Structure 1
Amino acid sequence: MSSADKFILAIDLGTSGPKVALLSVQGELIGSEFEETPVLLPPGGGAEQSPQVWWDAIETAGKRLLAKGLISNDDIVAIASTSQWSGTVAVDREGDAIGNAIIWMDSRGAPYIHKLMDGPLKVEGYALTKLIKWIRLTGGAPGNSGKDPLAHILYLQDVHPEIYQRAYKFLEPIDYIGLRLTGQFAASFNSITLNWMTDNRNIENVTYHDGWMTCHVPFKRQTCFIIWPLCLPLFPAAIFSQMNRNVPADACNICVIIFFFHKMNYLRRDARKCLSITRPNCRTHVRRQ
């Protein structure tokens, strides 16, 4: 069989519905079909779709396309898929979707992002220290519109704890389709980006952070308020940590500053008791919200 006799079945899951197409390996379009899927708009800025309806529509469009007899099914050598982005599908350990998918139009997570990024010295709605940490660890930060998967997950945790507790994974729509096709729970470097837990700036060395990127150091509010705004410009973590071997290289700015004042004996004793500076990545201070 020559390469000209081989074909790819392509799936494009758009918001309005999936398109299923047959293409030659040279890129020639042989035929295509479309099946519409509805968008549900709950009050408060919600936008949802049914993952099962997605899959049923893909099957319907695919069967209708193959029934045309444009090629022999035996000549299909691969399936390629793409989809809408910035959506969240909660699935259980069996890979079954739990409830509807929250899609890219949904803004109900905005209050949780605002709370997550709140603090003094704001820049475009982001607390400066938190913004610096997110950018250092991931190269960006969650959008304050509340439409990123991170916002969706925080919304589910607060409003639908029964879904959050049952969920084994939170998948992008493209990864849910991949799960249905292969039985594998997986994400790509692209699809994981808007969860804001990976640093994708070096595609040869993508790093993962297994906690929400917020720093919670349990000491007196007035101590924190007085110290870190004054010292942040003077002691960026990446530089100061190189000056002292006891500070992890990726310690957050707040922890670095606290460590400095702890060493200089400037913190109150009850505040110093709360500090832990031996664990890498500041994970003592990272909490799942």
Structure 2
Amino acid sequence: MDGYVIAYDFGTTGVKTCVFEISDSIKLVANAMEGYDLYIVGDGGAEQDPNDWWDAMIKTTREVLHKNNISKEEIKGISFCAQMQGLVLVDEKGEPVRPAMSYMDNRGWRELEDKMAHGIQIAGVNIFKLIKSIRITGAVSASAKDPVWRYKWVERNEPENFKRIYKWLDVKEFLICKCTGEFIMTEDSAFATLLYDTREGRKGFSQEICNMIGVDMDHLPRVISSTDMAGRITKEAAEKLNLKEGTPVFGGGGDASLIGVGSGAVENGSTHMYMGTSGWVSTVVDKQILDTKNMIASIVGADPKYFNYFAELETAGKCLEWVKDHLALDEINIYLEKKDVLNSKEAIYKSLYDYMMYAIKDVPVGSNGVIFTPWLHGNRCPFEDANARGMFFNISLETGKTELIHAVLEGVCYHLRWQLEAQEEKIKTSEKIRLVGGGALAPLTCQILADILGREVETVDSPQNVGAVGAAVLMAVGFNIIEKIEDAKKLIQIKERYSPNMENKAIYDRYFKVFKSLYKNNKKVFSILNDGSNL
């Protein structure tokens, strides 16, 4: 196509704004990055200011065009990849009625218990409501972090704000509204509310489920496909973004949908792992599967033919960020003073990551017996427990910072293995695992994962940008450049392969058993220390 497209990847703590050229491949032409805050508030809350996202979008769009001499007329369309299961409640003008509640927010546990945890139960959910939910949506709102319980929390705790609600949006849907004035949800975002009927011929928000939980159907927006054009950029938005009025805005998708697309793991049975702020294991399946024991569900993807069998870890790269801030900050500051680093957030991030990987490269397999649990904000799969927390286990007088940092990487990889094995209880995952996200930038991390899994790990070019690549793929379909989303595999090539060291795996197998035991052995202690009702 003549010209370029812009794909925005809105993560938990920042946006990557990427300009792509689409032909027989997807070529990154330019990019910019801007961070924003995540506010951890009392009683398990996690919030963001939606206008911070919009401001970051404006700033990075103007920056990437100006610095690379790209005119607004050359931009033929824009789309989004974004964090999912946010709760963004807006008024009739599209303005937030309160701060957005992040997917990490678990304040709705009382609302969950009131509506679902009574009578005869399976996995903590009333059996009759469980069966109804699975029959209609293929899933069930069984986690305090599911967005409907935050919606109900606002209704109970902030009645004045609740009265002002016009529509319930997710992160990218809020930004689409700012760009076009349209109130929509893509199908994957609608499914993530767990109010969406996935049965053929009945697809749409379910009146039956909404009545069961107590959701006002008028609050739910129109649903479109990820490859559909949601609208066009308004005059007001065009002036702020320095884009052309009328530029097409495509629906895009959530990160859980598009990161797999951008990694090239798009065929039935393909498995990818993601290490960003959060983490997950996702396998493409052709039917809905639900594992209530391990808290794994098949979520609607960008490709209407398939689902993503999805196991989520709340904090993956966020654990390494914690290490940077609390264990390695002095050394990193000294390092940066001595090294010329490009003045951009992404360049600095890569440099910090490179430094930490260099510092721990000689730590032996197993971190001299230290094991880290990556549950810094609770956990979701394969066990649901908002009270679970991170720990360094088996520290001795000889333990140093390098072992602790190394143990954090291993702990994240142990947990991903646990999730992969949980998936194997219901489906067959792929023998080769595609690793993407910022964690895939470091060969050391890739090799540790290969050794812990005992499987070959593959990476792609610019793995930290695969969400934006996925959004570009959707625009390629929308503009009829490619026929279908599955054709993405032709455009995305493997960059590196990491084969497992089976001697290392034998060591990791022993430590992995200990890792899994740490939750079971400390579950009651986590509850005593972290459940506010026990204080």
C-alpha contact (below 8 Å) 2:107/2:150 kept by paired residues: yes
Residues 100-129 of structure 1 show CA distances to partners (whole Å, capped at 9, x for unaligned) of 100100000122112211222211101111
Is 1:15 matched up with 2:18? no
Alignment partners' CA distance in 1, 2:20 and 2:210: 42
Is 1:65 matched up with 2:64? yes
Aligned to 1:209: 206
Alignment partners' CA distance in 2, 1:166 and 1:187: 20
Q: Which amino acid aligns with 1:10?
A: A
Aligned to 1:127: 126
C-alpha contact (below 8 Å) 1:45/1:108 kept by paired residues: yes
Aligned to 2:46: 47
The SS at the match of 1:71 is: coil
Give ranges in structure 2 of 5+ residues lacking alignment: 215-535
Give ranges in structure 1 of 5+ residues lacking alignment: 217-289
Alignment partners' CA distance in 2, 1:173 and 1:215: 23
State which of 196, 199, 202 in structure 2 corresponds to 1:198.
196
Alignment partners' CA distance in 1, 2:70 and 2:59: 18
Which range moves more in the overlay, 112-121 or 147-156?
A: 112-121
Aligned to 2:75: 76
Alignment partners' CA distance in 2, 1:197 and 1:160: 22
The SS at the match of 2:41 is: coil
Q: Which 4+ stretches in 1 moved above 3 angstroms? A: none
Residues 213-224 of structure 1: pairs in structure 2 closer than 5 A: 213-214=211-212
The offset of 1:205, in angstroms, is 4.4
Residues 129-160 of structure 1 show CA distances to partners (whole Å, capped at 9, x for unaligned) of 1101111121111132x112101101100111
C-alpha contact (below 8 Å) 1:90/1:168 kept by paired residues: yes
Alignment partners' CA distance in 2, 1:183 and 1:207: 22
C-alpha contact (below 8 Å) 2:84/2:192 kept by paired residues: no
The offset of 1:185, in angstroms, is 0.5
Alignment partners' CA distance in 2, 1:75 and 1:100: 35
C-alpha contact (below 8 Å) 2:33/2:60 kept by paired residues: yes
How big is the alpha-carbon RMSD for the aligned residues of Structure 1 and Structure 2?
1.7
Which range moves more in the overlay, 23-32 or 71-80?
A: 71-80
The offset of 1:62, in angstroms, is 1.1
The SS at the match of 1:107 is: coil
C-alpha contact (below 8 Å) 2:173/2:184 kept by paired residues: yes
Aligned to 2:403: none
Alignment partners' CA distance in 2, 1:164 and 1:215: 16
Is 1:24 matched up with 2:21? yes
* Greater share of strand: 2
C-alpha contact (below 8 Å) 1:133/1:213 kept by paired residues: no
Over alpha carbons, which structure has the higher Rg?
A: 1
Alignment partners' CA distance in 1, 2:98 and 2:125: 32
TM-score of the two chains, using structure 1 as the length reference: 0.69
* Greater share of helix: 2
1:74–1:163 CA distance, 2 compared to 1 (3 A):
same
Aligned to 2:176: 178
Aligned pair count? 211
Residues 103-252 of structure 1: pairs in structure 2 closer than 5 A: 103-144=102-143, 146-202=144-200, 205-210=202-207, 212-214=210-212
Q: Which amino acid aligns with 1:62?
A: T
Q: Once the two structures are aligned, what percentage of the paired residues are identical?
A: 29
Residues 196-224 of structure 1 show CA distances to partners (whole Å, capped at 9, x for unaligned) of 2211243x6413323535289xxxxxxxx
